[in-house]
Every structure is written in structure tokens, then in C-alpha cells.
Amino acid sequence: MSDTATAPPTPPVPLTALLAHEGLGLRRIAGPPAEDTVVHWVHTSEMADPFPYLLGGELLLSAGVLLTDPDAYVSRITAARAAALGFGVRPVHDTVPAGLAAACDRYGLPLLEVPPETTFTAVARAVWRLMAEARHRELRRVAEAQQGLATAAARPDPVPAVLGQLAARLGGQAVLIGPAGTELSAAGRAPSARARGALLGLAGVVSPPGGTARGGGPGPAPASASDAVDGVALTAYALGGGQGLVLGLAAPAREPGDHTVAGVAVVLLSLLTAPHQGLDSAGRSAALVRLLLGAGPAEAAGLLGAERWTVVRARGGAGPFAASALGAALGSALVDRAEDGTVRVLLPGDGGDGGNGNGGGQSAGPRVAARPGWVLGVSEPVGPEQLAAADTQAARALQRAVATGAELVRHRGAALSALLPPGEAAAQARLLLAPLAKAPALVETLRCWLSLHGGWDRTATALGVHRNTVRQRIARCAALLGEDLDDPDVRMELWFALRRI
């Protein structure tokens, strides 16, 4: 995935900046003042009706080759929500037609005269350069804000420090709102009472009672909501951890990078406000220390008690805070990101989501659900001594999710195969798969291929190899096993065997 999720969008260019560009010589001759107009991009068209080719926000450049009805032409441009019209004089028109200027005045469209010595390409190049400069400034502002927030999070009283830093960076107020709509902590300049009430209302949208969508409808509540009241931009963000906490922001304006800055604050506040576990937390820390010092899982398991654990493997996200944000959203600070970008999250408890139809699942509970921008594989809940096996389950579930295009796949527990005594089933599995014992790549390819119902392309996607490699490996498996892999009975026996090794 690209890093567009962590970088702010390209800021638009004020029309006044183009008019002030000495090398262009542009001049506003009709329409409203340029101070309130911004340009998102440039489009050149000599169509009599450019409406179908406009997205909105453009500076439309034209020499009026097919201009016959200025009123109809300008009405279509304004209907398309273009930002402004730049009209090039010569060689088609010696001057800007008076009817065109009058129409721009009527419809409220800024009209710029482009002198003969200025090419449309030069105007477009100037816009792109101004956008690049604005984006550089915005990225620098965001980077400085991220650094300031990280420094604030390391202070002795981190939550008020983060809120204060955020309020200072956005020039408004940052407030931490509790589940009952109470202000737990706030920093910065408070908005009007009316705006404050609206912000609390937004907090109820992103974190309503019961966690349902607005109005009690089906589906989860949105992660954020925004509004504008009394000239103040209001935004509410739900924090992770399942505590019902919300970050509320009230700022004079909503700049392109503000959402990115707020996202960093959400991650930090989610981690900082996570509930402490008391003696249970101390036991987990002791278990971790023993593991780091060489103790085996069985020895460390005694410190973790009888609690069950769920392993989640994930792909997706972007930026340095993506893994932490996922962990915070799932309610755990036990997060690891591998070099290949795969994220592992260890969740105390069953980690269930009530079943979503993507790969089954028997455990219940609201902990693991699909997350936008992520693909998740979820293990069965296991005891501490079985975490390695659960990690393998999560890896295979993620592999299947990637191959099938699902957002979340849960590992299926053993069903009919559990009817055999474990020792006898394992011995039979080893005997059946003995010809492949020295070829782990063949075993994993066969397992993946069978789990995906013999799909060549999906297996290749899941394993990250070419489809011809999959075909060659499966053919080699068939030869070594001496079995017809098109036979459903053979496939069933092999699948049960693979589940036991």
C-alpha cells in the first residue's frame, strides 16, 4: 500500500498566489474577488461544453475556440464547480469578450485574462510548483507536530501534555471526552457554548452507547465525525481500547494536514489511556522477563495464569504509527511488526467477534472485527503454552484472507478430525505425508492449495510465487505421494493429515 494514509493531501493553491506570480501576468477582469478562491488543479479545454470533463475546483484554461454562447458556457462551468476561468487572448480573440465577462459576473465565476506571451503550460507549471511548495510546508508542519506530540507523551503527566501540544498545533481546543459525555481533560481556547454542545454531540456519534451506529442502526459507529458551528471546525475521534473515550477538536479551520496530526494524537492517547492491569500486568511483565532470559513457554505460562490468548496477524496500514494504531484499536499494546510489514497483535481473552462468516469461529465477544485498510487473520483462543501454534493458525488465516480478498478470516477449529485420538491421528498423518517430510515448501504449498479449493491463482497470491511454481509443486506432491489430487477423497484425507502435523 502507499503512504497516502499518513501523508496529508496536497493543499490547494490560493488564486491570489497565481495573480501575484510576476512571470505569468494574469489579471482578474470579472467575477468575485480572488481572496476566497482556491485552485485544486488545472484543466485546458476548447470544448463548447466542458462540463463532462470537469471534477470541480479546476482553473479552466481556454482560448474560446468554440465560444458562441458565453452565458451558457459559464453556466455549465459553474455547474461543474470549477474554481475559475482563465481566458487566453490571441490568436482566436484579441480581447476577452465582453459577454463572457458579464456572464462571469452574473454567475460569480472569477475570470482571469491570460496574456499572449503566457502559455497555458506555464500556468499549469506554476500551479504544480505552488502546490509542491505548499505540500512541503504542510509535511514539515505535520512532522514537527508529530515530534512535539511524541515528546509530550513522554512527560510525567502525558495526557494533558498531549492535549496541550495538539491544541497549540491546531490553534484551538483539544478535549478528552468520557463515555458519559463529560470532559475529562481539556487544553487550549474553548469554543462557544453552542460549538461545545455540538462537539459533545459528535462524541456521541463516534462512541454511542452500545457501540452501534447513529440512531441505533446496524453496524459499528464511525471512527470520526466532523461539523462546523459558529465558524469553528469540529471533529471527534474515537480512541481505541474499548473504553468509550473520544478526542474532540475545535479549531478555527481544518487544514489538510490536521487529520494526520490528530491521528497521531489518537494513537498516543489510546495507548496512554489503556486500562492498567494491576497485579495481572506485573505477572505478564515477569513472564516476559523470564522468556527473554531463556525460560521456556511452559515455565512462563504459570505467571500468566489460566487466561486464554488470541493471536492476530495483519497486513496493511502505512506509516510508523500504523501497527500501534491497530493494536490500540484491538485493545492491546502487545504489538510486533516484522520486516516484511506483517503485524502481530497478542490479545488477552478469546478475541472473538461473534462470527462474521469469514472462515468460521466459535468464540464470542466484540474484540476482533475487520479494520479499514487491514487484512486480518485470527487464531483460536489458546493457553499460554500454545501461543506458537496459535501464531501459525493466525498466519494461515491471514494467508487465506489475502488469497480470497476477505478483510478478516478466523482459523477454523478441528471438527470431524477431532474424533480420532490425537496420538493416532498424528501418527497416521506422518505416515501419509512421509514422502513430503523433507520438502517443507511442498507441504505448505499443498496445504494452501487445498485450503483454497485447488485455486492456482489464489494459491500463488497467498504464497507470493508464480502460478507455474504452484503447478509444479502440486505435480511434484502428486508424484511423491502417488495419489490423484483431483480425487475428492484423496484431498479430504490429505487435508485432515495436514491439520495434524
- Per residue in 146-164, pLDDT (tens digit) is 888 888 877 766 788 889 9
C-alpha cell recorded at residue 497: 493429515
pLDDT at site 241:
65
Q: Return the axis-axis angle of helices 440-451 and 456-463, rounded to nearest 10°.
A: 130
Distance, CA of 437 to CA of 244 (rounded, Å): 51
Residue with cell 482556491: 38
Sequence-ordered list of residues with C-beta below 8 angstroms from that of 69, at least 6 positions apart, any chain:
none
Burial of residue 467 (CB within 10 Å: 0-12, 13-18, 19+) is middle
> In angstroms, rounded to a whole number, what is the distance separating the alpha carbons of residues 205 and 152?
28
Query: Which amino acid type is present at position 301?
Result: A
Cross-strand bridge partners of residue 337: 343
SS3 173: strand
What dihedral angle (degrees, nearest 10) is formed by the CA atoms of 480, 483, 488, 489?
-110
Tens of pLDDT, residue by residue over 280-321, are 555 566 666 666 566 666 666 665 655 678 889 998 876 555
- Could you give the CA distance from residue 422 to residue 420 in angstroms, rounded to a whole number? 6
115, 128, 371, 451, 458 from 462: Cα distances, Å = 58, 40, 20, 11, 6
Angstrom CA distances, 411 to 288, 408, 433, stand at 26, 10, 22
Mean pLDDT, the chain, integer? 80
Q: Establish how many alpha carbons lie within 13 A of residue 273's alpha carbon, considering only the half-sphere containing its beta carbon.
A: 26
pLDDT of residue 419: 46
Q: Between these two residues, 373 and 171, which has the higher pLDDT value?
A: 171
pLDDT at 460 over 70: yes
pLDDT category of residue 359 using cuts at 50, 70 and 90: very low
Predicted local confidence at residue 121, as pLDDT: 95
Q: Please choose, from the candidates 462, 403, 469, 464, the residue with its C-alpha nearest in 3D space to the C-alpha of residue 442.
A: 469
Q: And the C-alpha cell for 176?
A: 478528552
What pLDDT band is residue 167 in, cutting at 50, 70 and 90?
very high
- The values of phi and psi at residue 358, to 5°, are -100, 80
Read off the pTM.
0.45
Q: Strand 84-88 relative to strand 111-114: parallel, antiparallel, unpaired?
A: parallel
Residue 98 amino acid letter = A
Q: Work out the number of other CB atoms within 10 angstroms of the CB of residue 216.
A: 9
Is there a contact between 29 and 101 (Cβ–Cβ < 8 Å)? yes
Residue 277 confidence (pLDDT): 44
* Measured distance CA(230)–CA(80) in Å, rounded: 28
Tell me the C-alpha distance between 182 and 179, whole Å. Answer: 7
Of all residues in the chain, the percent with pLDDT exceeding 90 is 29
Distance CA 76, CA 489 (A): 66
State the Cα–Cα distance between residues 392 and 394, nearest whole angstrom.
5
pLDDT bin (cut points 50, 70, 90) of residue 324 is low
pLDDT-based confidence at residue 122 (cuts at 50, 70, 90): very high
3-state secondary structure of 479: helix
- 5 contacts 318 by C-beta, under 8 angstroms: yes
- Band of pLDDT at residue 263, cut at 50, 70 and 90: confident
What pLDDT does 363 receive?
A: 40
Q: Which amino acid is at 229?
A: V
In the DSSP assignment, the letter for residue 378 is E
437: pLDDT strictly greater than 90: no
Nearest to 237 by CA among 229, 248, 227, 228: 248
Taking alpha carbons only, the member of 441, 471, 476 closest to residue 455 is 471
pLDDT at position 30 is 95
Give residue 25's pLDDT. Answer: 94
What pLDDT does residue 276 have? 45
Helix (H) or strand (E) holding 84: strand 84-88
- Structure confidence by residue, pLDDT tens digits, 2-57: 333 344 466 788 999 999 998 999 999 999 998 889 999 999 999 999 999 999 99
* Percent share of the chain, pLDDT over 70: 79
Q: Residue 1 has what pLDDT?
A: 34
Q: What is the SS3 assignment for 334?
A: coil
Q: What are the CA-CA distances from residue 126 to residues 18, 23, 57, 63 (Å)?
A: 8, 9, 16, 19
Residues near 284 by Cβ (< 8 Å), separated by ≥ 6?
277, 303, 304
> Does residue 477 have a pLDDT over 50?
yes
**Model confidence pLDDT, tens digit, residues 170-215:** 899 999 998 878 888 899 998 899 999 999 888 888 876 555 444 4
* pLDDT number for residue 109: 96
pLDDT, one tens digit per residue, over 388-432 is 888 888 888 898 888 778 888 888 765 445 445 566 667 777 777
Query: Which H, E and C letters describe 13-74, residue by residue?
Result: EEHHHHHCCCCCCCEEEECCCHHHCEECEEEECCCCCCHHHCCCCEEEEECCCCCCCHHHHH
Q: What is the DSSP letter of 219?
A: S
pLDDT in tens, 63-96: 999 999 999 999 999 999 999 999 999 889 999 9
Residue 360 pLDDT exceeds 50: no
